[in-house]
Amino acid sequence: MPGAVHLPGRQIPARAAAELDRSVPVVTYCWGPGCNGATRAALALAQLGYRVREMLGGYEYWAREGLPVETADGSHRPAADPLTTATSISCGC
């Protein structure tokens, strides 16, 4: 995701202070809804005093909804998956 910091859970205690801004809420996420690494990372960050939210669905559903992603080739928006994206309903976001 554009602007994301790759910070594996086991490295949070050693790297969080140097890589994260305490004044900005942190959003944790995993590959998809079957992974609990985001939950464990959120707990570790909260215990260090960060404001944390967990993104449900993870990277998998972010990409499936056609939101911007970054790869080695740069930033782009994948085509939205019609099975996960409501095309006839607008939330105004």
Share of the chain above pLDDT 70, in %: 91
Burial label, 83 (beta-carbon count in 10 A; 0-12, 13-18, 19+): exposed
Length of the chain: 93
CB 38 within 8 A of CB 63: no
Predicted pLDDT at 60? 92
Which tokens sit at 39? 């939950």
Q: Which residue has the higher pLDDT, 86 or 67?
A: 67
pTM score: 0.79
Residue 77 confidence class, pLDDT cut points 50, 70, 90: very high
Burial label, 34 (beta-carbon count in 10 A; 0-12, 13-18, 19+): exposed
| Averaged pLDDT for residues 9-18 | 96
Predicted pLDDT at 46? 97
Structural domains of the chain ordered from first start? 9-76 (3.40.250.10)
Residues 30-72: pLDDT tens digits?
A: 998 889 999 999 999 999 999 999 999 999 999 999 999 998 8
- The Cα–Cα gap between 65 and 12 comes to 28
Choose among 35, 7, 1: nearest CA to 21.
7
User: If DSSP codes are grouped into helix, strand and coil, which group holds residue 91?
Assistant: coil
